[in-house]
Amino acid sequence: MRSSETVFEARGISLGFKGVKALTNVSFDVRSGEIFSVIGPNGAGKTSLLNCISGRYTPSAGQILFGGRDITRMRSSRRAGLGIGRTFQNLALFAHMSVLDNILIGRHHLLRNNFLTGGLYWLGGARKEELAHRRDVEEIIDFLEIQHVRSATAGTLPYGLRKRVELARAIALKPRLLLLDEPMAGMNLEEKEDIARYIIDLNEEWGMTIVMIEHDMGVVMDISHRVMVLNYGEKIAEGIPDEAINNPTVRRAYLGADE
């Protein structure tokens, strides 16, 4: 359910690589319960922005706030612990491991038992914790309809199923903010429709706030609450989908339309 509460805020984010500007003074906020899409042509800085949010990159200027807390220079592992999960444009699965093990890896930030308590497996809380994690993972497997491949080696799966497994691993973290980098890239129409349905359910039923990069404009228009448009690393529009897409600057820069 959407609210006016701000979950995430970027203030004047800039990022450069050896004199090349990837992002320039990008500011926006994401509200609780939103699906917030970031669109723009190739090279617009979309993935660089997600990398700044997740902690893979540190911006050269600006500030990143999550839940009101400054996380600008926080490590990506700590951000995951706070509840920021993500998928990648290029699949980042452990190809030699099973689907189940890939998803379980997504739970490691939630583990509470340490080496000493884990050693007392039957007497301590480690066994109870493991069973709880297994139940949560089984719920994710059922939700994404991947029961039939749960024991399969991830690297042997068709592309569409591997994308679904990566989504499973990201939501295994129980993120408050889920970052999706082109979750439907390379998929056929049926696969896209499935992923769109999962994203809507994660937002509406699981209560996840989502920031998504996606090139399929039909999907963006259908499921996004708000859209931000980047071009050459700069924000050129933001608003509800119709408003953003029909902005004259966007039509010139992104869609190639005349004024």
Q: Position 208: which residue type? A: M
For tokens 């540190």, name the residue: 58
Nearest-angstrom CA–CA distance, 183 and 167: 8
Provide the 3-class DSSP secondary structure of residue 47.
Answer: helix
Closest CA to 179 of 24, 8, 62: 8
Q: How is residue 176 written in tokens?
A: 């408050």
Predicted pLDDT of residue 127: 62
Two structure tokens written together for 115? 């080496």
Predicted model pTM: 0.88
- Select from 46, 32, 97 the least CA-distant residue to 54: 46
The rounded distance, in Å, linking the Cα atoms of 259 and 228 is 20
Closest among 96, 73, 88 to 155, alpha carbons compared: 96
Q: Edge-to-edge strand order for the sheet containing 61-66?
A: 20-31, 6-17, 61-66, 69-70
pLDDT in tens, the chain (259 residues): 677 799 999 999 999 988 789 999 999 999 999 999 999 988 899 999 999 999 999 999 999 999 999 999 999 989 998 999 999 877 778 889 999 999 988 776 655 544 444 444 445 555 666 677 788 899 999 999 999 999 999 999 999 999 999 999 999 988 999 999 999 998 999 999 999 999 999 999 999 999 999 989 999 999 999 999 999 999 999 999 999 888 888 888 765 655 4
| Interatomic CA distance for residues 101 and 153, integer angstroms | 9
Residue boundaries of the structural domains of the chain: 1-83+213-259
Identify the CA nearest to 170 among candidates 131, 152, 143, 147: 143
Give the Cα separation of 84 and 31 in Å (integer).
Answer: 14
Nearest to 249 by CA among 11, 21, 40: 40
Could you tell me which CATH number the domain at 1-83+213-259 has? 3.40.50.300
Cα distance between residue 34 and residue 103, in whole Å: 25
Q: Which two tokens stand for residue 21?
A: 């500007």
